[in-house]
Chains A and B, each alone.
Chain A
Amino acid sequence: MSVKFIWIGLASAVFLAVVISPFASPWLDGLERVAENAGVLERGEGEPLIAAPVPDYAMPGVPNERLATSIAGVVGTVLIFAAAWGIFKLTLRKRENGK
């Protein structure tokens, strides 16, 4: 597993999250559409138990919607990469025999 692969992988993820995500389809997703057709979608739109810092992938305080999505995207991608690295590093064993 080369370091280069990791950097390219992370950069690709960030690219998707920053450049492509603002142009993602705004249409309801499959579950939402099914709920909407059944007339129950609004049951899922109540007050959240804990207020999310970046609700709906739009960074608060950024007036341009596309930019808000891009920023949310890069923040989330890097956050997940770092959290995964940290948590799994703590979880997995070191190599048994040197190197």
Chain B
Amino acid sequence: MHIPDGFLDAKTFVTLDVAAAGLIGVATSRVRKALEERAVPLMAVLAAFIFAAQMLNFPVVGGTSGHFTGGALAALTLGPWPAVLIMTLVLVIQSLFFGDGGILALGANIFNMGFVAPFVAYGVYRVVRLVFRSNAGLYVGSFVASWLAVVAAATACALELSVSGLIPFSVSVPAMAGIHALIGIGEGIITAGAVAVLVASRVEVLKLKEVPGGVG
């Protein structure tokens, strides 16, 4: 759901560019407090994997494809604020190097895929884990959290398109949420799969091991 330049109007992309800059500042400060240098290799591998997996468009329905975004996976692995930084890096390089996503629209794309998705995923995951405390809950939680994260990010994107006057709300929101409800299934499967690999590899800096209540 990378928004190209030309879709958003100036008030929208400027507002989101400023918001994203602020979020990146907060994220940097939070991440410096939360993580140490030993998390760098995992962050780098995650960023690389997210970039590569984003290239793998899969058919969804009627001539439309979807792709993994990865904000949820990053948040479930390292927490939502580190996810903001990882996704920002991926999105900036995708935009500047590969022309995927606009340059003026970077703030919007960072906000949607790099802020909304990770925070929704993290919040939903913790709620699901309140109910599913077993090991299966790791995977159910990852799937549901990442699915909802994609739908939420797509809805934010739809709202931005409408506020910009591109497409009316009554069209953009159901269309974006609807198609991303399908695309989100792919995101859920890939995220749960990646989580399984991380758990099997006994990666120790794992946010998703935290269960509300402290067990984990």
Contact = CB atoms under 8 A, between A and B. Distances in A.
A87 B40 CA distance: 9
Contacts of A84: 40, 43-44, 46-48, 86, 89
| A: contact size bracket | 35 or more
A47 to B, nearest CB: 9
B55 to A, nearest CB: 4
Given A43-B6, A85-B40, A30 B183 contact: yes
A52 to B, nearest CB: 3
A68 to B, nearest CB: 12
B124 interface: no
Interface in B148-207: 154, 157-158, 161, 166-167, 171-172, 175-176, 179-180, 183, 201, 203-205
B65 A80 contact: no
Nearest to B28: A91
B48 A93 contact: no
A80 B93 contact: yes
B105 to A, nearest CB: 9
A26 B56 CA distance: 10
B35 interface: yes
A53 interface: yes
B176 A34 contact: yes
Interface stretch (B15-23, B95-103, B126-134, B139-147): B95-103
Contacts of A31: 1-3, 154, 157, 176
A17 interface: yes
A27 B63 contact: yes
B137 interface: no
A14 to B, nearest CB: 7
A95 B48 contact: no
Contacts of A30: 1, 60, 64-66, 154, 176, 179-180, 183
16 contacts: A1-B205, A14-B48, A17-B51, A25-B57, A30-B179, A40-B7, A43-B166, A46-B5, A56-B100, A76-B51, A76-B98, A83-B89, A84-B43, A91-B28, A93-B32, A93-B37
Interface of A: 1, 5-6, 9-10, 12-14, 16-17, 20-21, 24-31, 33-35, 37-38, 40, 43-46, 48-57, 69, 72-73, 76-85, 87-89, 91-96
Interface of B: 1-7, 28, 31-32, 35-49, 51-53, 55-60, 63-67, 85-86, 89-90, 93-100, 102-104, 154, 157-158, 161, 166-167, 171-172, 175-176, 179-180, 183, 201, 203-205
